[in-house]
Amino acid sequence: MSASVSPPRVGVWLIGARGSVATTVVAGCAAMTAGLHPATGMVTETRLFADSGLPPLSSLVFGGHDTVDCPLPKRAEALAAGGVLPHDLPAAITSELTAADREIRPGGPVPGDTRNPAELIPSFTADIQDFIRRRGLTRAVVVNVASTEPAPTGTTLPPSSLYAAAALRAGCPYVNFTPSTGLHHPALSSLAASSGVPYAGRDGKTGQTLLRSVLGPMFAQRALPVRAWSGTNLLGGGDGAALADPAAAAAKNAGKERVLTDTLGTTPEGETHIDDVPALGDWKTAWDHIAFDGFLGTRMVLQTTWQGCDSALAAPLILDLARLLTRAHECGLTGPLTELGFYFKDPVGDGPASLGEQYTALTGFAERLRRPVVGAGGPERGPAERGLGEPEPSEPGPAKQRLPEPGLSGVTPA
């Protein structure tokens, strides 16, 4: 009788690993693996991705970077007290939360940090590579779920870009689930183009913009001109505090407004506002007021209210993306994965903005994963697969990629 073979283990390295979203991701994966809760909200658990070769949830191993030191079990207890997690879940998965917390390393730059990008990026890269080696992982995906940062000015390389560079230098697929700069910084363009790994982003589409990507095409397809589209968001928690900064809010709103322009074919009047309401915690209320013209110029209005928990909306999508990027890497796919626009407000590459069209593209991507790239032979073996004593391959690839030094000259951390 042959022994069963466990599937290869895959790393999920979270930037902002002790935040609400990351904690919900780790807790949710543990709960589903243990059979405590169903995979609600996970598109990769639907029939669409049957036989696509995605890694099972039980194979995922979590770690990450963060600048705070609150342990994940304590963070999970706080989320349960706020109604984000089931009240009895933290106690049931304490060992899984503790194991993930042991894999979290100090992030940066922090106040008073004198290290420059040429020092920070190799440090972050080494943390990721050490995680892969120690845990015997086949590969790892880096996902940015940290708080939104303001758009950089001048040659400033913000924290999100430092982590993105570290991910690619470690040979890891990268996902930017935030509106922060990440790989969009000009200093990283050559690295992104030559990294040999797949990447996706940016800014996860979880609530108000998800609804807009459905309603915008509806108005356009029914030939109903939209005169004005205004919105307000009320939210608390770490995201609310971060978005109280007007520059961070502007970065967030850019994606929300771009969806309307792309789906309507014009930019309507109106603005979107974000208000920090600490008492709401991880819960969010989003209002939209849409003024449009009907037959014979009849003035009409549609108002929507979206109330939800950001962490619970985001967590299943992040698990989806970690699995999809893992499989894409395994299939030898590289560069921006435009077919994953379904998950983002501001997707990389050129693609449709309508949710329906994005779902069609995602359907094609599911089929693409069933048919690995001919002749690709899969990605080059990473450090964990070669063994510490083996030399690096002579051909350049993900494991050997280094950040071009000229692109960092004069760049300082935000």
Q: Is the pLDDT of residue 405 over 50?
A: no
Whether the CB-CB separation of 277 and 236 falls below 8 Å is answered with yes
- How many other CB atoms are there within 10 angstroms of residue 332's CB atom? 17
Whether the CB-CB separation of 93 and 27 falls below 8 Å is answered with yes
The tokens describing 409, both together, are: 């000259």
Provide CB contacts within 8 A for 361, sequence distance 6+. Answer: 338, 339, 341, 342, 351, 352
The tokens describing 3, both together, are: 């022994």
Predicted TM-score of the model (pTM): 0.87
Kindly list the distances between the CA atom of residue 153 and the CA atoms of 23, 58, 115, 176, 347, in Å, as whole numbers in the listed order.
31, 42, 19, 19, 22
Model pLDDT for residues 125-183, shown as the tens digit of each residue: 999 999 999 999 999 999 999 998 988 887 878 999 999 999 999 999 999 999 999 99
What Rg value do the Cα atoms of the chain yield, rounded?
21
Model pLDDT for residues 111-125, shown as the tens digit of each residue: 888 899 999 999 999
> Model confidence at 336, in pLDDT bands (50, 70, 90)?
very high
Provide CB contacts within 8 A for 59, sequence distance 6+. Answer: 6, 7, 8, 9, 10
